[in-house]
Structures are given as structure tokens and as C-alpha cells.
Amino acid sequence: MLLRKALKLLVIMLLPVFAMAQVTTSSIIGTVSNESGAPLEGATIKAIHTPSGTVYSTLSRSGGNFTIPNMRVGGPYTITISYVGFQDLKYDNINLDLGDPTKLTPVLIDSSTNLADVSVLAQRNSLISKNLTGTSVSVGRQEMSMLPTISRNINDFARLSPIAQVRTSSSDGSPMGISFGGQSTRYNQFTIDGANATDVFGLSSNGTNGGQAGINPIPFDAIDQLQVILAPYDVTQGGFTGGGMNAVTRSGTNELHGSAYGFFQNQGLVGKSIDTRDKYGKFSNWQYGARLGGAIIKDKLFYFINYEGLSRSQPVANQPGSGSSNLGSDEIAAAQDLSDYLKSEYNYDAGAITGLNQTRKSNSVFARIDWNINDKNKLMIRHNYVNGNNYSISDASNSMSFGNNGYTFRSKTNSTVLELNSSFNSGLSNMLRLTYTSVNDKRDVGSPFPSVSITDNGATYKFGNDYSSQANSLDQHIATLTDNLNIYKGNHTITLGTDNEFYTTKNIFLQGLFGDYTYKSLDDFYNNTNLNQYQTTYSTNSNDPYAPASVKMGQFGLYAQDAWSIKNNFKLTYGLRADLPVFFNDPVANDDFNSSDIAKEFNVQNNQPPKSKILLSPRLGFNWDVFNDAKTQIRGGVGLFTGRVPMVWVSNQYSNTGKATIKYKATASDVAANGITFDPSNPYRGTPAATATEIDLTDRNFVAPRTLRANLALDQKLGWGLVLTVEGVYTKIIKDIMYQDLNLKAADTTLDLGNGVTRPFYGYSLRDSRFTNVLYLTNTNQGHAYNVYVRLKKEYSRGWMGSISYSLGHSYGLSDGTSSTALSNYRFAYNINGLNNLDVARNNTDQGSRVSLMIGKQFNYGKFSTNLGLFYNGQSGQTLSYVVYGDLNGDDGSKSTSISTSGGADLMYIPTSADDFAAFTKNGATVTPEQQLEDWNKYLASNDYLSANKGKNLKRNGTRLPWENHVDFKFAEDFQIAATHKITLSVDIFNIGNLISKNWGKAYYSGNQELTPLTLKGFQTTSDPKVIKPVYTFNSAYGLNQYTNKPWAYSDYLSRWSMQIGLRYTF
């Protein structure tokens, strides 16, 4: 407690000087010299941002060096260099890229020479820059206007990075996050004007605020430039171990400018399915908005405002009867019988079976003010408001959800930024930034009803309120204070600063509040017998029925850095960053657990959050212009990077204390012992004192993800504006997440899988019956990744831009951390030897090979302009694991006498004998083990990976879906209707190959990157009481897909072409 109070006091004392600094500006650097090469100290460098009249100025220092920091991105700028006794030198048409200083080398001519002032039309290539060390990509307005995008999301432009793996939803094409360098999508950071727009809590699949509702975190038209970085050796940048994306927004200028726009899609602008050739269902997608910018006071005060709206309705993917579903007329008839039964028996309308649509709506408003206080001080303040909702429901190849199993997700974000940039003199500048963001998310379900899942001979039926949505809301408040002080001394640029982030959450998350029931057959449900698993979570206080969990924490950092230009062609950047996470409140204490043998043995307490520990991150980067001619550049570096742990993982400790809430899970044997039956009006809860509950813990020494990353690159300038880059990046895991169940006893039985292959069997034997899972979040240092790529790029000039690249990357780790809950992260970690004994294997985000091609061309003729953009992406398919349906190892509910089918992360062993199968009934007929083996061998023969591993254990992500080729295209025609007024008609086409040929542009799908062809039926005893043998069933109806003739299906939406038509008026 004394340390906690001291830290709070330290924070208060340091607030005035504290600086997570992300890039929002650009700069100009250089050296002024005379004709003989002698440096000129005291020269005046003046930069004017032509559109706004904003003035920046400085004087050259000792050695002729100068720096103009904290400048607006974009341009054009006019730069004038003057010195007594010399001709003025002027640079015109200078444009600045986000985070990439522009280097000038002005040479002044003696005024005695009879010449007019010298004017230079600047040309630069941002790929050859003395400040470039790590892997990065800059995206400006030119790329954003010329390249295809339908979602109008940054994902469509982040894919320009050769080591980015952009993921989109197979159901509707919406963004699903980006993996950089094979790292988790949860480990990225996205900032807008320096404000963190990342989903810090860690629930959204695409990683941004509003992502759970499928909405963009900002109006897309408001973005001016985007920077994508992987290994920034600049210590001012932190908070991620994946990739960093920094966006800056547009601002007003002296000229009034604006735009009104709309983009439209419907079912007529989507191709036929690649399998059944069915037309797309009823669909509409409207995106519309307007922006306006100008001057309040010329050259002094500017405004910019942008509104954007979205209204979308789209068919649910994988619905029964579709080509991507294995469920046909028999299952639809069974679902209808089930629906009729629920109406007659419980007066409950489960909702529609087919014909379901997802809906999405949003409204966004962005406003920004820029004030040129004087030549030395510039102030920016902006606010971003996003409000949206999304009705969500999902089906899979072998499962279907009734309409009322869906939920409406509502999200509202408010984000404010204030930034003051000051240049005190030629040797000192400062950037001060304050941000505040609030995010309010909530799930709405229909009338209260338990969630029910029934698996019947391989088909799964789901109805009732979604298990995780019955009581689910989250309020977040995030405040940051950033201050960077830059000192320019000779050949050194010294940066001193610190990071501060203050974070509070209020989370209601009671899974299965109304009860959650799992059955192994429809008959069992109809007869209200043989319940396989029951779950619920509830508050122990009737006066506080939702028991919200609150987490209050901060993360603070200090850093110091020196960017040293040792020679004119060699720059060394080195620095040290220190981060300190602090938790300001503790979880509710559970005295029963804290006095238990488990707590004593493992030295844990449920009310102790992670310790406050200083995390040091030294970094070193270099840039060598080999021949000092800006043609051949070698760059690289090495450093430690500390990210943020998704807060939801730590918050589980605050939610699942077993004191304020009870999280109860009953296996089949528990169900029988407690007489639990299906009762929608009275979910079983027992008594808190006697009901076993889940306990979530966090290692006191747990730290956020940390990686050691190094890169080495060669950039070679060729003719025609081309730059060839060869780069390699290596990442070593220093700290990542790992979950353990401290309540699970060691295995005392062996599984005989056949062919001499065995595994441990745990029999779901618990140390303490008062608790179910005791889940312990700790760290592992196992895992690594590497990426190499070759790229040839031409930056925009004379109407052309383009790039082509090949990249190869692999990443390895213990688990992927795909869920928000401790139990799901634990129970769905693919394994062979048990959930507490994971092996290092390929990650879900393993990139494989990737080829990308980007071409953009602008044609101008009179009052017309044609813009063409094309992007090709050829990539290895997603990694894929084969998993047994059911708990094979007995670490998630199965005992030797009963099995659990609620989980299932046990990697498949490929059986080879009829003795491995048990008979089952299909359509009134018995399917014998011998017939199943015959069907099974046909299934194996469809795939080389399966055929080669008969009688063996399969590995996590041991194979992949097939290679995919996709080409996206954009056409935009500008019509100049007046001097500064134009109308633009645009057409964006994704997967245009499928428009040309029905056999092109195929995409593939497997839910959760897994396949579960075998269903665990039970266990057989052997002559040895400590050895048991599993038996399975294989239903060929849910084996090979009838269209691919492979275990996987086509991705319905992503295999179709889709088109968006846009109309824009700009002035």
C-alpha cells in the first residue's frame, strides 16, 4: 500500500513534465553550406505552408545544421534559405510525409556573383531517407484516392506493407484485423492525431474502437496521411509489439474547400456464389458524408469538419441450404420441428431459420481547429464522435443459429485531442499533447431465455439468448498526457520525454446469466435428460444484480534518445525507454480461495494484481548512405519493445472472483449429482457457499507482451524513380501470455490412440471441489518469428505509382490468445498433451508466402481526369488445425465414463482401424464401424497432409487452406465543372477476377481455422486399468464439402466479386 500511495504521489508531481508519443507531424532537416562546402551558421530557413500561410522558421546551428520540427504534413511548402552576403535559395513544391523528415542540402552562392535568386523544384523519395531505420510504409492522399477500397477502412491501405497480413470477414468482407510480422492482431496500436484509437480493452477482432459493431473509428475522409511501422527504433514510440499505425487528419486552409459524397452497393453489384451459382440475397450498403474546411482568420485560425454515415443490411453467411453449409433439407426440417416444439412447450419464438440478415448503422462527426498563435507556437484541438450499432448472428459449416440467438451491439466513442507545438529557438522545440477518449459498448438481446446448443449426429443447433450477451456492457475512459522536448546541438538531436496513460473500465459480463445448456442429441433435449453441460454466471448480491467489475490503472514511461549524425551519410539513433504499469485498485478478495491449499502451494491470492515493475527497452538504429549520394542505403537496428496487454485479460481477475460473482460450470456428472434440468424460467444456481465457481488469477510478476526485434535492409535507387528494397526482420518473444489451470491434477491415466501413440488423460480430476477452473494468467518466453521481403517501388510522379513485392514469414508460439475470457483462452489452445502442457507451433497469424502488386495511373486531358488503381494479392491460405470434437484428454470436462463436448482443443490423431469407431444411427439406419472406416479413408485421401499422417498426431496449424489470388480494381473519372469544382464518378471492384471468370478469385473458409471431422463418442477400458482407448464417430455428411471435394468450403462472400459505385462533388 505504501508503494501504491508513493506511485500516485509521483504521478501527480510529474504531471507537468510527463510525455505514449505517437507521430502526428513531419519536419525538415538539413545542412547549409557555401560553394566550397564550408558550413554556414546563422542562416535563416523559412518554410511557408502555401495552402494555409502557416510560417515556420529557424536558424542554422553550428556546422550549418538546421531542424524545423512539428510541421503540418502534406503541402506544398515553399522553403527559403537566406544568409547575409549570399543569394537567397528557394525550394518550391515541397510535400512532407508523416513521421519522415525531409532532408535538404542547400548550397548558397556568393551575392557578388551576378545571378538572380536561385529557385529549385524539389524532388525526393521517402524510401531513401537518413531517418529511416526500421520497417515502415507511408500512405498519402494520392494512394488513398487512387487505390480500391469498399469498406473505406485503413486495412485496405495497410496491406501495402509487405509484411502485413490483412484479414477480412468471410461472411461480409468487413475488417477483421491486421497481423504484422506474424504477431497477434491484438498487439497492434492505431492512433489518430496521437490519440489511441485501439480497442485497448481487447474485444474487437479488428482492433479499433467501435470494431465490435463493425464501424470505422473515424470518418475515412478525415484522414490525411497514414504511417505503418513495425520496428521504430525511436523510443518515443511504444505501446505495441505487433505493428503501429499512425494517422493524421485533414485541416482547414485559407481557401474554402469541401466535398459531399455517397457510395452504394446492392445485391445486383455482387456476383453469384462460386458453388451453387446462386444470386446474392437482399443486400444494401450506403456510405455517405460531407466535409468542409476553411479559414476563420486568414493565415491564423482554421477549421475542418467531416460527417459520415453508414447503413448496411447483408445476408448471414453459411445459412443452412447454402453451398458453404453442410446442413441441408434434413437439418432445416429438424430445425423447424425444434422451433415448433419450443413454441408449444415454452411459448418461445426461436426466430427464423433461414433468410437472416445482419444490419449495421453508424454516424460519425469529426471537427478540428488549428490556430497559428505565432511563428513559434501552433495549437490544434479536435473531437471525434462515432455512434453505431450492429445486429450480429453467425452460422458455420456444421452449425446454425435461430434468429433470436443474435444480438445488437451498440457502440459510442468520443475522443478529444489538444496538441501544442512550440519552437522556442533553433536549438529547442517541444510538443505537448492531451487526449481523452470514452467508449461505451453494450449488447442487447431479446426477451430473456437461456442459451441452448444441441449437437445431433454432427449438426449443431443454437437458440435462445447468446451465451456471452445475456448481460454484457463496457464503459472505458482513457486519458493521456504527452510531452516531448527536443534539443538540437550540433550533429545531435536529443529527445527527452515520458508517457502517461490513465485507464478506467466498468465491465458487466455475466455469461449465461439465464443459463446455458449443452446436449448431445435432439432426443435428449426433447426428453429433458442427459444434459451434457450446464453453465451460468450470476451476482451474489441481489441488490447489485449485474456486479460490474472495475479496473483502474495507469502506464507511465520515461525515455531519452540521441539521434546522432556521426557523418553526413551515417546516422545513429540510440535511446532507452522505461515503462511502468500501475494498478490502482484490487479485485474483491475471496478468503475461501486465498486460504486454500491451491493458493498456498502456488503462492497466489485472487485479490493481488500484477506488481508495478519498471520495464526497460533499449533501442539502437542506424542509417548509412553508402556513397553519400542518396542512392544506396543500408539501415537496420535492434531493440526491445513493450506493448499493452489487452485489458480484458487482466480484467478477468476482477470479474471472476468467486465472491462478487459465481461462475459455475457443471459437467455431465455434476448435472446428475445436482439434478439439473432445463428450466428456462429458473436457471440452476445452487447456493453461493456450496456452488463451485471459476477463479481467475494473474501472476504477480506478469508483464505486458515484450519482444526483441531486429532488422537489416538495403534500399537501392534505380533508374526511372524505382527503389529496390531487400529487408529481413526477426522477432524473439521475451514475454507473451500463457494460461494454466491450477485446479487440474496431473494425469494418472494413459490414452492408447493406436499405432503405439499415447497421450496423458486427466479425467477432469480437480484438486479442490469448491472450484471449477482456477485459471492463472502468466508469461512465457517461448516463440519467435521472421519475415523477409523483396520490393520494387515507384513513388507517385508524372501520374504513375506502383510496387511489386514478395515476402515470406513464419511465426511460432504457445497459443494465440484468440478470446477475451480466461476460460476460452485456456480451453481453446490447441494441444496434444493437455491444456497445461502446450507445445510451440505455428501461430494462427503465420503469414507464409505473399506476392503483392500495386499500380496507379492518372490520365489528364482538358477538363477530364481518369484515375486507375489496381491491387493484386496472392497469399498462402490461412493456417489450419484438425481437432477432435469433444474433450479427448480429459482436461476440460471428460471423464473415463462420460465425455464433454462443450470444449474441444485436442489435436486429432488419425485413427486407422475400425476398432477406433463406434456405431451410430443415421436417418434410422445403423452406420457400422467398418462403413465409417471406409468413409474415413475417402476423407483422408482428399488431402495429402492427412494421407501422410495416418496413425500420427497432427500438429497445431500443421497445414493451410489453399493459396488465394485476388485482384481489386478502381476506376475514377473526374469532371471539372468550374475552376475549383469537380464531380467524380468512381467504381471500386473487389475480386475482379471472379467478374471475368467464375473460376477465378476463389477464397476458402474454415471456421476458427479448425476442422472437427471426428466426434468423440466415449472411452473403452483395456486390460490395464490405467489405460483407456477412445472411440469416435465419423458422419460422412459432415466430411468433404460437396463443391470443393475437400474438408474445407469456399468462402461464400469473399469468392464473389463485389462492386461499389460512388459519386463525389468536390470544391
Same domain, 35 and 82: yes
pLDDT of 357:
92
Residue 768 CA to residue 497 CA, distance in Å, equals: 50
Partners of 711 in the beta sheet? 637, 729
Residue 997 CA to residue 982 CA, distance in Å, equals: 35
- State the CATH number of the domain containing residue 412: 2.40.170.20
Low-confidence ranges of the chain (pLDDT < 50): 1-21, 115-117, 121
3-class SS letters over 629-683 = CCCEEEEEEEEEEEECCCHHHHHHHHHCCCCCEEEEEECHHHHHHHCCCCCCCCC
Any domain includes 986: yes
Same domain, 866 and 887: no
Q: Which domain holds residue 98?
A: 19-121
- State the CATH number of the domain containing residue 92: 2.60.40.1120
Same domain, 459 and 325: yes
pLDDT of 8:
42
Q: Smallest Cα–Cα separation from 776: which of 803, 743, 727? A: 743
Residue 438 CA to residue 631 CA, distance in Å, equals: 47
Q: Which residues contact 118 (CB under 8 A, 6 or more apart)?
A: 87, 88, 89, 90, 109
Same domain, 81 and 212: no
CB 472 within 8 A of CB 445: no
pLDDT of 10:
37
Please classify residue 928 by burial: count the beta carbons closer than 10 Å to its beta carbon, then call 0-12 exposed, 13-18 middle and 19+ buried: middle
Residue 708 CA to residue 784 CA, distance in Å, equals: 9
CB 648 within 8 A of CB 588: no
- Hey, which bits of 373-491 come out as E strands? 377-392, 399-401, 407-425, 428-444, 451-456, 459-463, 472-489
Same domain, 935 and 985: yes
Same domain, 872 and 923: no
Any domain includes 752: no
pLDDT of 118:
53
Any domain includes 761: no
Any domain includes 818: no
Same domain, 642 and 696: yes
- Give the predicted TM-score (pTM) of the model: 0.89
Any domain includes 749: no
The total number of structural domains that make up the chain: 3
pLDDT of 689:
67
pLDDT tens sequence across 887-902: 999 999 999 999 988 7
Q: Which residues contact 36 (CB under 8 A, 6 or more apart)?
A: none
Same domain, 486 and 521: yes
- State residue 141 phi and psi, 5-degree precision: -60, -35
Same domain, 92 and 175: no
Any domain includes 412: yes
Any domain includes 273: yes
- For residue 88, the 8-state DSSP code is -
- For residue 953, the 8-state DSSP code is B
Burial 1012-1028 (b: 16+ CB within 10 A, else e): bbbbbbbbeeeeeeeeb
pLDDT of 114:
53
Same domain, 869 and 886: no
- As given in the structure block, the three cell numbers for residue 803 are 510496387
Any domain includes 826: no
pLDDT of 7:
39
pLDDT of 200:
84
Residue 543 CA to residue 521 CA, distance in Å, equals: 38
The residue to which cell 467464375 is assigned:
998
Same domain, 857 and 889: no
